[in-house]
Structure 1
Amino acid sequence: MPPSEALDATEAFLGRFVCFPSEYARVATSLWVAHSYLLEHFDSTPRLAFLSPEPGSGKTRALEVIGSLVRRPMHAVHCTPAALFRAVGDLDNRPTILFDEIDSVFGPKARENEELRAFLNAGHRRSGLTFRCESVGNTHTVVSFASFAAVALAGLHDVPDTIATRSVIVKMRRRGPGEAVEPYRLRVHEPEGLAIGEQLAAALDSLVIPEDPVLPAGVTDRPADVWEPLLAVAEGVGGAWPGRAAEACLHFVAGRAGAAEPSLSLLLLADLRRVFLEAGNPDALATAPLLAGLLGLEESPWRDLRGKPLDPSGLARRLRGYEIRSTNLRVGATVAKGYRQVDLSDAWMRYLPPIHGEPVGNPFGGVPQKPATGATPATHTHHQEESGTNRAQFREERLPTAVAALTDDGATREALAATSGRTTAGGHSVGA
Structure 2
Amino acid sequence: MSAPAQTTAPIDGAALLDEVEAFHRRFNVFPQEAAYVAVTLWDAHAHLLDCFDSTPRLAFLSPEPGSGKSRALEIVETLVPRPMVAVNASAAALFRAVSGPEGRPTILFDEIDTVFGPKAGDNEELRGFLNAGHRRTGVTYRCVGDGGNQTVQAFPSYTAVAVAGLGSLPDTILTRSVIIRMRRRARNEAVEPFRARIHEKEGNTLRDRLAQWAEQAKGVVMGAWPEMPDGVSDRPADVWEGLLSIADAAGGDWPSRARKACVALVEASRATDKGSLGIRLLTDLRDHVLIGIDRLPTVAILDRLNALDDAPWADLNGKPLDNRRLSKMLSEYMTGDNEPIGSRNIRTAGGVLKGFFASDLDDAWARYCPPPKGATSATPLHPRSEPLNL
TM-score, scaled relative to structure 1: 0.76
- Of 264-273 and 60-69, the range deviating more from structure 2: 264-273
Instruction: Name which of 29, 39, 54 aligns with 1:19.
Output: 29
Question: Out of 345, 350, 363, which is 2:382 matched to?
Answer: 363
Q: Deviation at 1:305?
A: 2.8
- 1:68–1:197 contact (8 Å) kept in structure 2: yes
Shift of 1:5: 2.4
What's the offset of the Cα at 1:263? 4.3
Structure 2 portions without partners, runs of 5+: 1-10, 335-339
Q: Counterpart of 2:212?
A: 202
Relative distance call for 1:255 and 1:352 in structure 2 (3 A) is: closer
| Aligned residue among 274, 279, 298 for 1:261 | 274
Query: Where do 1:267-278 residues align within 5 Å?
Result: 267-273=280-286, 274-277=288-291
Q: 1:340-385 CA distances to partner (integer Å, 9 max, x unpaired)?
A: 33312222333253597895465226xxxxxxxxxxxxxxxx858x
Q: Which residue of 1 aligns with 2:360?
A: 343
Cα distance in 1 for partners of 2:78, 2:49 equals: 18
Q: Please tell me whether the aligned partners of residues 326 and 337 of structure 1 are also in contact (alpha carbons under 8 angstroms).
A: no
Residues 344 and 138 (structure 1), Cα distance of their counterparts in 2 relative to 1, 3 Å cut: same
Q: Please report the RMSD computed on the Cα atoms of aligned residues, expressed in angstroms.
A: 2.9
Residue 44 in structure 1 maps to residue 54 in structure 2: yes
Indicate conservation of the 8 Å contact 1:103/1:156, yes or no: yes
Equivalenced residue count is 367
Equivalent residue for 2:229, pick from 216, 226, 243: 216
Q: How has the CA–CA distance of structure 1 residues 255 and 291 changed in structure 2, closer, same or farther, with 3 Å as cutoff? A: closer
Tell me which amino acid in the other structure corresponds to 1:363.
H
Residue 265 of structure 1 aligns with an amino acid whose one-letter code is G
Query: Structure 1 residue 227 and structure 2 residue 240: aligned?
Result: yes
1:221 and 1:327 map into 2 onto residues whose CA distance is 33
Distance 2:310 2:190 in 1: 42
Q: Give, in whole Å, the separation in 1 of the partners of 2:375 and 2:199.
A: 58
Q: What does residue 187 of structure 1 align with?
A: 197
230-239 or 349-358, larger mean C-alpha shift? 349-358
Contact 1:50 1:154 in 2 (8 A): yes
Rounded Cα–Cα distance in structure 1 between residues aligned with 2:346 and 2:200: 75
**Code of the aligned partner of 1:321:** E
Q: Give the drift of 1:74.
A: 1.0
Q: Check the 8 A contact 1:166/1:226 in 2, yes or no.
A: yes
Q: Is the 8 A contact 1:215 1:228 kept in 2?
A: yes
The answer for unaligned runs of 5 or more in structure 1 is: 366-381, 385-390, 393-432
Amino acid at match of 1:126: R
Report the Cα distance in structure 2 between the residues aligned to 1:364 and 1:118, rounded to whole angstroms. 42
- Which residue, out of 115, 121, 124, partners 2:131? 121
CA contact (8 A) 2:344 2:357 kept: no
Matching residue of 1:325: 341
Instruction: For residues 267-296 of structure 1, give each alpha carbon's deviation from its aligned partner in whole angstroms, at most 9, with x where no partner exists.
Output: 432443444446xx34x4444454455456
CA distance in 1, matches of 2:270, 2:281: 19
> Which secondary structure state, in structure 2, belongs to the residue aligned with residue 93 of structure 1?
coil
- Contact 1:119-1:130 at 8 Å conserved across structures: yes
Larger relative contact order, structure 1 or 2 (CA cutoff 8 Å, min sep 6)? 2
Provide Cα deviations, 1:189-239, integer angstroms capped at 9, x if missing partner. 212221221112112212111521121111111111111111000101111
- Choose the corresponding residue for 1:130, options 104, 125, 140: 140
Which of 1 and 2 has greater Rg?
1
Distance 2:232 2:161 in 1: 22
8 Å contact kept, 2:330–2:342: no
Hey, what does 1:100 align to over in structure 2?
110
Moved more, 28-37 or 300-309: 300-309
For residue 49 of structure 1, give the secondary structure of its aligned residue in structure 2.
strand
**How far off its partner does 1:33 sit?**
0.8
For 1:336 and 1:103, the matched residues in 2 are separated by 46
Write the distance in 1 (CA, Å) between the matches of 2:45 and 2:375.
44
Shift in CA distance, 215/271, structure 1 to aligned 2, threshold 3 Å: closer
With 41-50 and 13-22 compared, the bigger mean Cα shift is at 13-22
Q: Measure how far apart 1:174 and its partner are.
A: 2.6
CA shift for structure 1 position 148: 0.9
Give the stretch that moved more between structures: 85-94 or 334-343: 334-343
Q: Which runs of 4+ in 1 moved over 6 A?
A: 332-335, 355-358
Q: Partners in 2 of 1:190 and 1:298 — Cα distance?
A: 47
Conservation of the 8 A alpha-carbon contact between 2:116 and 2:122:
no
